[in-house]
Amino acid sequence: MDQMTEDSFEPTVSNLIHLVGVCIEIFGVFIIVAGIVWSTVLFARRRNIERHYDQYKIRIGRSLLLGLEVLVAADIVKTIAIQLTFSSLGLLAGLVVVRTFLSWTLVLEIEGRWPWRRELLPTSPIHHTDTVDRMR
C-alpha cells in the first residue's frame, strides 16, 4: 500500500508543479498584453502624439521586460516539474539566454544603458559644497 501511495504521489506533485508553471506563464502573457493595452489607451488620450511617443515606447518596453522575467520564471518552474535530462536542461538554458538577451536589449532601448552599468546619480548641491568645504 505504501508503494502505491509513493508511486501516485510523485506524478501528482509533478503535475501540480507543471500546472503552477503554466499559470505563471499565463500571468506573464497577461502582463505583456495588459501593459500594451494600457500604454496604448494612455497614448491615444494624449493630444500631442509626437511628444508622447517616447513615453509610449518606454511603457510598452517596461511591460515587455516584466512579462519576459515572469516567463523565464515559468520556464524554470516547468522544467523542475519534468524529469531533468540534459536535453530539458539545454532547452531551458537556451530559453533563458534568449529571453535574457531580449531583456538586456529592451533595457538598453528604454534607459540608454546596459543593465549592468549603474546610473550616475546627480550630486546634490548640499553634498557638493560639503565636499568642497572639507577640501579647503
Burial of 21 (0-12, 13-18, 19+ CB in 10 A): buried
Highest mean pLDDT among 37-46, 95-104, 118-127: 37-46
Count CB atoms within 10 A of the CB of residue 130: 11
pLDDT (tens digit per residue) in 50-105: 778 888 888 998 899 899 889 988 888 888 777 677 887 888 888 888 888 888 88
Q: Which domain holds residue 95?
A: 2-135
- The number of folded domains in the chain is 1
Q: How confident is the model at residue 124 (pLDDT cuts 50, 70, 90)?
A: very low
